[in-house]
């Protein structure tokens, strides 16, 4: 069939138009806004005050809080990644090794993902980490580990650690599912051949599974990165009502300077322009991270 | 090919129909509002109030406030047959949603704001000065202005850019103070609520001796005592200087160290609950509500409502103003308080009806009802306060100065957060007053 130009217009037009209006326009407007002082996010562009690079300079040179927010997502990114990838791979290997009730365990591990972050956050903060009747306290006390039971999960010093653990816990099932799907696709002949040759489980994992699911690592790294850069709901759950320097992330910082509705904040200090600058910095950060990931984890010819 | 052309024609037709449908919706909206435009001409006639009002509310539909507001609307509609009020329950996001809606010209006749945000809405708000001199059904023949407690009426004036105009009808006010458990105070032999820092320390000691934890607080309200204590010593302007200090010299002021020493002493003498270090809101409120701690170190007057389902029925509520300090710039007459307020859109087609409804909510029967149901503060001079806040009424009576939302710390939100992080350590006894001052000095400048 010959292609019809009218067909292109009719079927592509609405999608393209919505893309331009809903995605490209806000991005361009945000980029522009980041060079202005804008008090309210909905202010007419005639009320904007051009401040050159001031928003960026203030954020990157004289702003302990924003710098801390970057450090915080750096912490979550690194330690969370190590923990999540280790456990996700471990569970994926175990479940793929032919254990009974595979479907049941898979569902249980994935379960945290179908619960809203707000509900999960509340559960962790108010129950699991509670210093009076918390789950961890009870478990450690049961085993006689009083030192661990007394551990102050939600105090100022350990809050970031607790938040990283709580967030990562929910992610394990999600990444495990991705790894399991990838492992399922690796032809079983390889394993059979390896078994005949006398390879053990470790050899099979490191020499067959890992190399053949390398591409999936890239996907999971990208997903993990977007999750960390956009880290928001969990931070609010761990420091509700007010922001806290231990749990602040760039998104939370942006939210606060754009809306300023926490306790003790002066609404007249809202600065949507600075918020836009935070958004642009995060965009640049995301692009940089993806470039590095693409560079480090090369695309493979073999893919299952 | 023929088939694809046929398909594209179908697609085109369906798009056109869809667009036309959107268009007709819009015109429906416009025609719907145009009759009320003609109505507005007759609104002020003696035949009574007319109009269709849309109220954007900061309450959620299942909150107690909403229940009372719904009753007030039914009562108002029953008395004014030609007035219909539609409510959009936006919850706390109302503050973020309202401005875009107003800018887009959506019909919103009445909306909620608070005194801190009011000045930002002045260009949208109806000036109420003239309305304030009129009497309404619920004001007992008084001018509306006189039916409202002066402290709240003033708060509206202070909130205006010119400092005299009134752009909002105040209701559901709050104040930060120290709520306490009267039964535990009595058990420790304390007969009167402390008024000065020395008396406060004495009360803490008596409680401790009696085996009662004197103070608790949550992470969320950790800043309240800091806002009060430092502004008592330095005044709000003095505190503002601290956060804006680029040299660090302001932090060398011995009074700053003295204020920090007071807090350090609270921690070192064991007056602050051990739980405070790990308290995540509302764990501290629960601790206070179930009688494990005698005082909450700075909370809003909304506390009785928030813990209503947790406190025992015979809980004896008490409140006192944050104590005055020796040689302080400001005393108990200065308080952080504010109110929600009903703002009337200056583009409303039925402003008189909107004002009359707002007046019926902030004075008279429904004001008392709102106070009773929400265990909150009543707005009208003739209204009854919730019994839980009887002491708070006395605190309010003393207040003459309104501090800003952050008692001066709010001059710089970023630095405020940095100081706050160090303050948590001070309150929980992890650092000394000297370390607190040094950390802040180095971090803020």
Average pLDDT score, chain A: 90
Least confident of A85-99, B39-53, B257-271: B39-53
Q: What is the pLDDT of residue B8?
A: 53
CA pair distance B169, B356, nearest whole angstrom: 11
Q: Across the A/B interface, how many CB contacts are shorter than 8 Å?
A: 127
How many helices and strands in chain A, by DSSP H and E?
Answer: 16, 2
The fraction of chain A above a pLDDT of 90, given in percent, is: 68
pLDDT for residue B403: 93
Closest CA to B150 of B405, B407, B397, B404: B397
Q: B6 pLDDT exceeds 60? A: no
Residue B74 CB burial class (10 angstroms; 0-12, 13-18, ≥19): exposed
At a CB cut-off of 8 Å and minimum separation 6, what does B360 contact? B72, B75, B76, B136, B137, B138, B366
- With a cut of 60, say whether residue B47 has pLDDT above it: no
Q: Tell me the nearest-neighbour CA distance from A1 into chain B, angstroms.
A: 7
Tell the CATH topology of A34-296.
MetI-like fold (1.10.3720)
Residues in chain A with CB shorter than 8 Å from the CB of B95 are 259, 261
Q: What is the pLDDT of residue A265?
A: 72
Interface test with A, best of B413, B421, B422, B439 (most A CBs within 10 A): B413
The answer to whether the CB atoms of A241 and B410 lie below 8 A apart is no
On whether both B234 and B329 belong to a single domain, the answer is yes
User: CB-CB: which of A6, A66, A244 is closest to B219?
Assistant: A244
Residue of chain B nearest A261, judged by CA positions: B95
pLDDT at A48 over 70: yes
Q: Is the pLDDT of residue B39 over 50?
A: no
> Residue A44: its pLDDT value, please?
84
Contacts of B279 in chain A (CB under 8 A): 154
Q: Are B242 and B230 in contact (CB under 8 A)?
A: yes
pLDDT on residue A120: 94
**Binning pLDDT at 50, 70 and 90, where does residue B41 land?**
very low
| Mean pLDDT of the region B310-331 | 96
Q: Could you say which residues from 403 to 432 on chain B have a Cβ atom under 8 Å away from some Cβ of chain A?
A: 404-407, 409-414, 416-418, 420-421, 424-425, 428, 430
Rounded CA gap, A143 and A162, in Å?
21
| Residue B38: pLDDT band with limits 50, 70, 90 | very low
DSSP-derived pairing of the beta strands A36-37 and A49-50: antiparallel
| Mean pLDDT, rounded, for A105-129 | 93
Is B32 a residue whose pLDDT tops 60? no
Mean pLDDT of B326-339: 95
Residue B13: the pLDDT is 53
For residue B12, pLDDT over 60 is answered with no
Report helix, strand or coil for A234: helix
Burial string for B410-437 (b: 16+ CB within 10 Å, else e) reads bbbbbbbbbbbbbbbbbbbbbbbbeebb
Q: Cβ of A245 and B420 within 8 Å? A: yes
Question: Which residues make Cβ contacts (< 8 Å) with residue B83, sequence separation at least 6?
Answer: B49, B50, B51, B52, B53, B76, B77, B350, B353, B357
Answer yes or no: do B409 and B393 share one domain.
no
> Based on the domain organization, do B96 and B127 belong to the same domain?
yes
Q: Does pLDDT of A92 surpass 70?
A: yes
Q: Could you tell me how far CA B254 lies from the centroid of its own chain? A: 34
Structural domain that includes position B317? 175-336+400-444
Comparing CB atoms, the residue among B8, B11, B406 nearest residue A265 is: B406
Range name among A22-26, A297-301, B374-378, B388-392 with the lowest pLDDT average: A297-301
Of B12, B222, B418, the CB nearest to A65: B418
Residue B40 confidence (pLDDT): 38
> Nearest residue of A to residue B227 by CA position?
A264
> Is residue B359 in a domain?
yes
pLDDT of residue B382: 86
Whether the predicted pLDDT of B24 surpasses 70: no
Over residues A70-95, mean pLDDT: 96
Q: Is the pLDDT of residue B45 over 50?
A: no
pLDDT single digits (tens) A150-160: 999 999 889 99
- Residue A59 Cα, gap to closest chain B Cα (Å): 11
pLDDT confidence of residue A180: 94
Instruction: Decide if B4 and A4 are in contact by the 8 Å CB cutoff.
Output: yes
Give the pLDDT band (50/70/90) at residue A302: low
- ipTM value of the model? 0.85
User: Average pLDDT, stretch B334-359?
Assistant: 95
Classify residue B195: in a domain, yes or no. Answer: yes
A132 touches chain B (CB under 8 A): yes
Helix axes A64-96, A102-110, angle to 10 degrees: 170
Any domain includes B228: yes
Q: Residue A301 has what pLDDT?
A: 56
B417–A65 C-beta distance less than 8 A: yes
d(CA A236, CA A248): 8
CATH number of the domain to which B368 belongs: 3.40.190.10
Count of domains for chain B: 2
Checking if the pLDDT of B10 tops 80, the result is: no
CA B15 to chain A, closest CA, distance in angstroms equals 9
Contacts of A129 in chain B (CB under 8 A): 278, 280
| pLDDT given at position B21 | 44
Q: Which residues of B touch A65 (CB under 8 A)?
A: 414, 417-418
Residues B224 and B181 in one domain: yes
Model pLDDT for residues B282-292, shown as the tens digit of each residue? 999 999 999 99
User: Domain check: are B294 and B439 in the same one?
Assistant: yes
Residues A293-298 have a mean pLDDT of: 84
Interchain contact A63–B (C-beta under 8 A): yes
Interface mutation vs chain B, best among A71, A259, A263, A277, most B CBs within 10 Å: A263
pLDDT at B5 over 70: no
- Assess if residue B32 is contained within a domain: no
Q: What is the 3-state secondary structure (H, E, C) of chain B?
A: CHHHHHHHHHHHHHHHHHHHHHHHHHHHHHHHHHHHHHHHHHHCCCCCCCEEEEEEECCCCCCHHHHHHHHHHHHHHHHCCCEEEEEEECHHHHHHHHHHHHHCCCCCCEEEEECCCHHHHCCCECCCHHHHCCECCCCCCCEHHHHECHHHHHHHHHHCCCCCCCCCEEEEEEEEEEEEEHHHHHHCCCCCCCCEHHHHHHHHHHHHHCCCEEEECCHHHHHHHHHHHHHHHHHHHHHHHHHHCCCCHHHHCHHHHHHHHHHHHHHHCCCECHHHHCCCCCHHHHHHHCCCEEEECCEECCHHHHCCCCCCCCCCEEEECCCECCCCCCCCCEECEEEEEEEEECCCCCHHHHHHHHHHHHCHHHHHHHHHHCCCCCCECCCCCCHHHHHHHHHHHHCCEECCCCCCHHHCHHHHHHHHHHHHHHHCCCCCHHHHHHHHHHHHC
Q: For chain B, what is the largest distance between any 2 Cα atoms, rounded to a whole number of angstroms?
A: 96
Out of A187-191, A272-276, B50-54, B205-209, least confident range: A187-191
Does residue B326 register a pLDDT over 80? yes
| Statement: the pTM of the whole predicted model exceeds 0.80 | yes
Contact assignment for A266 to B405 by CB distance below 8 Å: yes
Residue B211 and residue B157 share a domain: no
CB of A153 within 8 Å of any CB in chain B?
yes
B81-128 residue pLDDT tens: 999 999 999 998 898 899 889 988 999 999 999 998 898 899 999 999
Residue closest to B264 by CA, chosen among B229, B311, B309, B306: B229
- A contacts of B99 (beta carbons < 8 Å): 40, 42
CA distance, residue B385 to nearest chain A CA (Å)? 25
Ordered by start, the domain boundaries in chain A are 34-296
Q: Which of residues 244-283 of B touch A (CB under 8 A)?
A: 275, 277-281, 283
pLDDT digits (tens, 9 = 90+) for B225-254: 999 999 999 999 999 999 998 898 999 999
Interchain proximity A246–B421, CB inside 8 Å: yes
Q: Could you tell me if residue B157 is inside a domain?
A: yes
B359 shares a domain with B323: no
Q: pLDDT by residue (tens digit) across B138-150?
A: 999 999 999 999 9
Residue B437 belongs to a domain: yes
CB pair distance less than 8 Å for B279 and A263: no
Coil vs helix vs strand at A32: helix
Task: Answer yes or no: is B17 within a domain.
Answer: no
Same domain, B266 and B405: yes
* Among A4, A42, A264, beta carbon nearest to B416: A264
Enumerate the residues of chain B whose CB falls inside 8 A of the CB of residue A46: none
Select from B138, B111, B76 the least CA-distant residue to B341.
B111
User: Is the pLDDT assigned to residue B354 strictly greater than 60?
Assistant: yes
The predicted pLDDT at position B168 comes to 96
- What is the mean predicted confidence (pLDDT) over A228-243? 88
User: Which residues lie across from B181 on neighbouring strands?
Assistant: B317
* B8/A152 touch (CB, cutoff 8 Å), yes or no: no
Greater pLDDT, B100 or B323:
B323
Taking CA–CA distances from B1, the nearest residue in chain A reads: A1
The predicted pLDDT at position A42 comes to 82
Region B301-327: mean pLDDT is 95
Total Cβ atoms within 10 A of residue B259: 25
pLDDT for the residue A295: 87
State mean pLDDT over B318-323.
97
Q: How far apart are CA B94 and CA B89, in angstroms?
A: 8
């Amino acid at each position: 069939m010959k292609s019809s130009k009218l067909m292109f217009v009719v079927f592509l037009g609405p999608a393209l138009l919505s893309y331009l209006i809903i995605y490209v326009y806000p991005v361009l407007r945000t980029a522009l806004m980041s060079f202005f002082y804008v008090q309210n996010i909905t202010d007419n562009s005639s009320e904007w005050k051009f401040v050159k690079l001031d928003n960026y300079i203030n954020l990157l040179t004289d702003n302990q809080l924003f710098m801390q927010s970057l450090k915080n997502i750096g912490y979550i990114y690194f330690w969370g990644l190590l923990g999540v990838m280790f456990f996700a791979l471990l569970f994926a290997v175990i479940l793929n090794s032919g254990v009974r009730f595979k479907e049941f365990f898979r569902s249980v591990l994935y379960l945290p993902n179908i619960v809203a972050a707000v509900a999960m956050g509340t559960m962790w903060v108010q129950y699991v980490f509670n210093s009076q009747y918390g789950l961890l306290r009870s478990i450690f006390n049961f085993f006689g580990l009083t030192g661990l039971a007394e551990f102050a999960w939600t105090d100022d010093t350990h809050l970031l650690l607790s938040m990283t653990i709580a967030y990562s816990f929910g992610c394990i099932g999600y990444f495990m599912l991705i790894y399991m799907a990838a492992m399922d696709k690796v032809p079983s002949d390889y394993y059979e051949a390896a078994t005949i040759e006398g390879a053990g489980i470790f050899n099979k994992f490191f020499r067959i599974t890992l190399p053949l699911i390398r591409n999936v690592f890239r996907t999971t790294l990208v997903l993990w990165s977007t999750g960390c850069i956009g880290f928001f709901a969990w931070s609010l759950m761990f420091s509700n009502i007010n922001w806290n320097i231990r749990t602040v992330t760039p998104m939370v910082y942006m939210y606060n300077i754009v809306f300023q509705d926490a306790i003790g904040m002066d609404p007249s200090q809202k600065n949507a322009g600075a918020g836009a600058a935070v958004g642009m910095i995060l965009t640049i950060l995301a692009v940089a991270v993806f470039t590095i990931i693409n560079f480090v984890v090369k695309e493979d010819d073999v893919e299952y | 090919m023929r088939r694809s052309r046929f398909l594209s024609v179908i697609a085109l037709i369906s798009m056109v129909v869809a667009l036309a449908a959107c268009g007709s919706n819009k015109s429906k909206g416009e025609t719907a509002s145009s009759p009320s435009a003609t109505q507005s001409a007759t609104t002020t006639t003696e035949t009574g109030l007319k109009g269709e009002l849309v109220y954007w509310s900061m309450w959620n539909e299942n909150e107690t406030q909403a229940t009372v507001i719904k009753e007030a609307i039914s009562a108002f509609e029953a008395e004014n047959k030609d007035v219909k009020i539609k409510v959009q329950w936006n919850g706390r996001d109302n503050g973020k949603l309202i401005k875009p809606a107003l800018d887009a010209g959506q019909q919103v006749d009445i909306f909620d704001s608070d005194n801190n945000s009011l000045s930002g809405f002045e260009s949208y708000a109806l000036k109420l000065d003239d309305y304030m001199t009129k009497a309404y059904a619920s004001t007992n023949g008084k001018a509306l202005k006189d039916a409202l407690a002066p402290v709240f009426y003033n708060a509206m004036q202070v909130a205006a850019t010119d400092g005299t105009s009134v752009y909002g009808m105040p209701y559901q006010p709050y104040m930060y103070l120290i709520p306490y458990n009267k039964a535990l105070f009595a058990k420790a032999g304390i007969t009167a609520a402390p008024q000065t820092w020395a008396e406060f320390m004495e009360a803490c000691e008596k409680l401790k001796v009696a085996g009662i934890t004197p103070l608790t607080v949550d992470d969320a309200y950790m800043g309240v005592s800091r806002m009060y204590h430092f502004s008592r010593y330095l005044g709000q302007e003095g505190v503002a200087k601290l956060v804006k200090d680029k040299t660090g010299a302001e932090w060398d002021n011995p009074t700053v160290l003295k204020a920090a020493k007071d807090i350090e002493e609270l921690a070192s003498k064991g007056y602050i609950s051990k739980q405070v270090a790990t308290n995540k809101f509302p764990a501290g409120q629960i601790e206070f509500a179930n009688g494990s701690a005698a005082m909450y170190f700075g909370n809003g007057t909304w506390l009785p409502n928030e813990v209503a389902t947790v406190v025992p029925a015979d809980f004896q509520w008490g409140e006192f103003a944050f104590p005055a300090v020796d040689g302080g710039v400001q005393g108990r007459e200065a308080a952080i308080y504010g109110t929600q307020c009903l703002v009337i859109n200056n583009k409303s087609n039925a402003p008189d009806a909107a004002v009359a409804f707002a007046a019926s909510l902030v004075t008279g029967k429904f004001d008392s009802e709102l106070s009773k149901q929400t265990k909150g503060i009543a707005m009208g001079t003739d209204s009854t306060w919730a019994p839980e806040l009887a002491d708070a009424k006395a605190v309010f009576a003393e207040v003459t100065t309104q501090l800003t939302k952050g008692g001066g710390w709010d001059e710089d939100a970023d630095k405020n957060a940095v100081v706050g992080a160090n303050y948590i350590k001070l309150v929980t006894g992890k650092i000394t007053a000297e370390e607190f001052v040094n950390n802040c000095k180095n971090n803020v400048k």
